Structure 1
């Protein structure tokens, strides 16, 4: 692009964010949510049952894509921190990455033919999907990571950040729900498998790209208007990468946030991965029931995001996490004791779980800007990209390990895999017990650990206000007196 949407105005950092700006910011997470949700639910099945790729090769495609996705997160984070343009540090990545993001997502749902020889065609398909997966994950990170780093650049208000993230995750959860519904509609209208996924990929690619430009247009004025409030040192020469890592991981509150996030999302991902087995093998319900359970959880999480945001304004982020995670723990325990035939109770627990899942979306991400400002107070530099990048990196590596362990536990428990075209096999008691443990005690332990970390998280609303006061004093050239009793010094 050759021109900016409109010139930034002098927007004071303290001026409240208006509804259109929050809405535009939230829209930026719609595309990543749609694509991530479809890839999580459908890509492995598509590769093996539609593209005809060997299951081992299909698993390797997903593994390579996940590993590269984790690696490029901190790289893009550092590069976006160092970007200098009239569009700021984040927007060039979003504007230039949006089109490749949509194109490479669509290309993942094409089934090319490379050779009449089945063995040669298998390897052709394998390398095609590996290359497309690598390029898609690069484009995904180029769009999504700078987007997430916009939060502290839009507002420094403690409560507004929680509100801003509630809009973000409303679009995120809404996108996940929309993608599931759209898939069901397309699958009901079209019988050919290749055409189903080709149309689904095309529609979702277009729908995913357009909101990114909405986000850029709707938030640009606010973000660039706040540039005057940034620390002058933030544009100085960047320190070496290894030193940045040392500073990031010496930020004790950041380590607590990482821990809370990992524990929350480990519970989410393990439960999401095991729900199909729980619904079909333990509860004895058809495959369609899994989608309905997922919609019950995600729909409730969407509605309760704004409820928890309002509660957070009154009682703070930690209390909200205690309330949501506490209810969530009761739900996971209830799922362990749930018996076949108790279908109504299962849906009731799914709805209750949505209350807790929404806090996993909302609370950790609204804590990250607080620790970034603590880092700025200590170092005089703003490095949003590297904080967000390593948070996502550790999340992906941690979740990959957790899901790997669950899969191996099922294998050790003698789980019998389904054969296409054959009835669902009757699982042995050992496998059924492993499924119940994976959906109950394992997420429960993870959530309890998250509660412990949240209890010791040191940045309260009052301490955050003190951090902002110190930053304002520094920008005004005021040096506060050295006070060894100041709680900021203990962080």
Structure 2
């Protein structure tokens, strides 16, 4: 009887506990949030591997060393930054001040990084070590800034609205609308690279005046990097001044040990973390070097993504329906692993099909349809892939508040990533060495890698990442924060937050009375 009456109370309270028609985030703030979402991807970072390898000419062994150093530094700075952010209490909120603090230094670091070719020259002036040291220093500061803004953005999204429906709408809107803008730099950059390397006059220039050829090639990266850094910095600054926090923090600052304890007792967070750890063992390369060095087509991703560009916006329209019909666990598994299955199909096509005397992986006539089919099917799941992980992260933060009585967005975000970063540090240290092991030469001119290296570029971006990351699916089967359990959590949180808001108001009133008395 007791359980029946409890269930009845929950059912009666649910509509008022999670008011689905209450919209906290207005149009102006939604627009600013979308700008910030654009800022995170409005860059030419997709070609960073090409930039550091072929433009800056950083030795592969030194790239490996850099990845190891930065990986360790990333873990260290995550811990102290999370502790600082979690203990922040200001009249503007917990996260907003840090958004403003990050804005200018973050842009300056990006501007300097993309301007490095102006210092190094076309042939990488100086010894390998003289190029490596400034590159390493910039990576250290860039990682520090990146860690800070990741912690702050995660917390800001979790506190911008207490309504989960409002939050899902905000995330979906941002992912959908930003997609029409944020990919423009990388698409344009791919087209410019293709036009440059395939121009008959530039091919002749490469043979007659290599310095002039590489000066023009490098200039595209400098200009593209600088322009996008300035634009994304401006977008982020707009959001920093407009955004508001609406989930109240406790008056007392939580101790660091309490923050750690809240993480260790958070089952959803632990399962998400374990899945990401196992996924971090996925070793491989991105497709950029393969597209440019083997297929001679930097804009390959743009071409194969044309049908998917039509499908992708549609995929957001059925996210609310899917969330109401299927468990979070089912959506998480489907959206996370469909791409792996599809990529194995691409690998099979490249290895098994021969066309006009060439292996499939070297032939555009084979690879364009294979990648296009994969991309189109994957885009049907893109809305879920974009929204579900974000919502799960936010719900894990709310779960910690439900169980422990306080929020620890900073420590929660860091805990989710820290072990994965340990694995990634080892992985990122190994990957450049693997590339060198299979004969990739950073000093070779475009299109002159060995057949062994060309084949390695293919299977290291299709087959290897899938088989080395497959175990990440196992923890997903044990995730259970959905349905009645999630609804009950938000019912209780709503009442608790009302009490905290009253406590904060009383605290502020008492502080005001004290100043008046003085």
- TM-score, normalising length from structure 2? 0.73
Q: Does 1:314 align with 2:324?
A: yes
1:439 aligns with 2:447: no
What's the CA shift string for 1:65-113, capped at 9, x where partnerless? 4443343233322211211222111111111211111111000122365
Cα offset for 1:379? 1.8
1:9 is aligned to none
Hey, what does 2:271 align to over in structure 1? 256
Contact 1:417 1:425 in 2 (8 A): yes
- Which residue matches 2:287? 275
Distance 1:437 1:52, change over 3 A: closer
Within the candidate set 352, 365, 390, 1:365 is matched to: 390
For structure 1, list consecutive stretches of 5 or more residues without a partner in the other structure.
1-11, 479-491
Which whole-Å CA distance do the structure 2 matches of 1:263 and 1:152 have between them? 25
Change (3 A) 1:308 1:23: farther
Q: 1:329 to 1:60 in 2, by over 3 A?
A: closer
Query: The residue matched to 1:149 in structure 2 has which SS?
Result: helix
1:253–1:371 CA contact under 8 A, matched in 2: yes
State the Cα deviation string for residues 233-252 of structure 1 (Å, max 9, x = none).
Answer: x221321x344223312311
* Partner Cα separation in structure 2 for residue 313 and residue 355 of structure 1: 15
More off after superposition, 376-385 vs 417-426:
417-426
Cα distance in 1 between the residues matched to 2:220 and 2:71: 25
Judge conservation of contact 1:162–1:362 (CA < 8 Å) in 2: yes
Q: Which residue of 2 aligns with 1:352?
A: 377
Going from structure 1 to structure 2, the CA distance change for 1:476 and 1:183 (only over 3 Å counts) comes to: closer
User: Residue 332 and residue 209 in structure 1: after superposition, are their counterparts in 2 closer, same or farther (change >3 A)?
Assistant: same
Q: Name the structure 2 match of 1:99.
A: 104
Does 1:210 pair with 2:234? yes
Shift of 1:265: 7.3
The alpha-carbon distance between structure 1 residues 67 and 168, as it changes in their structure 2 partners (threshold 3 A), is farther
User: What do residues 407-443 of structure 1 show as CA deviations (whole Å, max 9, x unaligned)?
Assistant: 566666x455475226444534x98489547623742
Structure-1 residue corresponding to 2:400:
375
Which position in structure 1 is the counterpart of 2:11? Answer: none
User: Out of 409, 415, 424, which is 1:390 matched to?
Assistant: 415
Task: Name the structure, 1 or 2, with higher relative contact order (CA <8 Å, separation 6+).
Answer: 2
Q: How many residues align?
A: 445
Question: 1:464: Cα distance to partner?
Answer: 1.5
Residue 148 (1) aligns with residue 154 (2): yes
State the shift of 1:299 in Å: 4.1
1:197 to 207, 221, 225: 221
**Structure 1 CA distance for aligned equivalents of residues 192 and 461 of structure 2:** 32
CA distance in 1, matches of 2:450, 2:386: 36
- What is the aligned partner in structure 1 of residue 339 from structure 2? 328
Is the counterpart of residue 246 in structure 1 residue 257 in structure 2?
Answer: no
* Partner of residue 483 from structure 2, selected from 455, 461, 474: 461
CA distance in 2, matches of 1:278, 1:356: 25
Residues 3-82 of structure 1 mapped to structure 2, 5 A cutoff: 14=19, 15-16=22-23, 17-35=25-43, 38-42=44-48, 44-82=49-87
Contact 1:81 1:384 in 2 (8 A): yes
Name the counterpart of 1:162: 168
Cα contact 1:114–1:120 (8 A) shared by 2 = yes
Q: List runs of 5+ in structure 2 lacking aligned partners.
A: 1-16, 197-212, 354-359, 501-518
- Please say if residues 319 and 384 of structure 2, whose CA atoms lie closer than 8 Å, have aligned partners that are also in contact: no
C-alpha distance in structure 2 between counterparts of 1:373 and 1:309, whole Å: 21
The 2-side partners of 1:93 and 1:469 are apart by 31
- The alignment's C-alpha RMSD in Å is 3.8
Moved more, 185-194 or 329-338: 185-194
Measure the CA separation in 1 of the matches of 2:299 and 2:97.
43
Q: Distance in 2 between matches of 1:94 and 1:207?
A: 16
3-state SS in 2 of match to 1:28? helix
The structure-2 alpha-carbon separation of the partners of 1:372 and 1:288, relative to structure 1 and needing over 3 Å to count, comes to closer
Check whether the contact 2:168–2:387 (CA below 8 A) recurs between aligned residues.
yes
Q: Is the 8 A contact 1:177 1:295 kept in 2?
A: no
Q: TM-score, normalised by structure 1?
A: 0.76
CA distance in 2, matches of 1:67, 1:301: 40
1:265/1:360 contact within 8 Å kept: no
Worse-matched range after superposition: 77-86 or 430-439: 430-439
Structure 1 residue 154: deviation in Å? 1.9
2:210 corresponds to which residue?
none
Within 2, Cα distance between the matches of 1:466 and 1:103? 46
Distance 1:99 1:129, change over 3 A: same
Quick one: distance in 2 between partners of 1:408 and 1:123? Answer: 17
**1:127 Cα deviation from its structure 2 partner:** 2.6
Residues 452-489 of structure 1: per-residue CA shift (max 9 Å, x gap): 433311201321221122223445679xxxxxxxxxxx
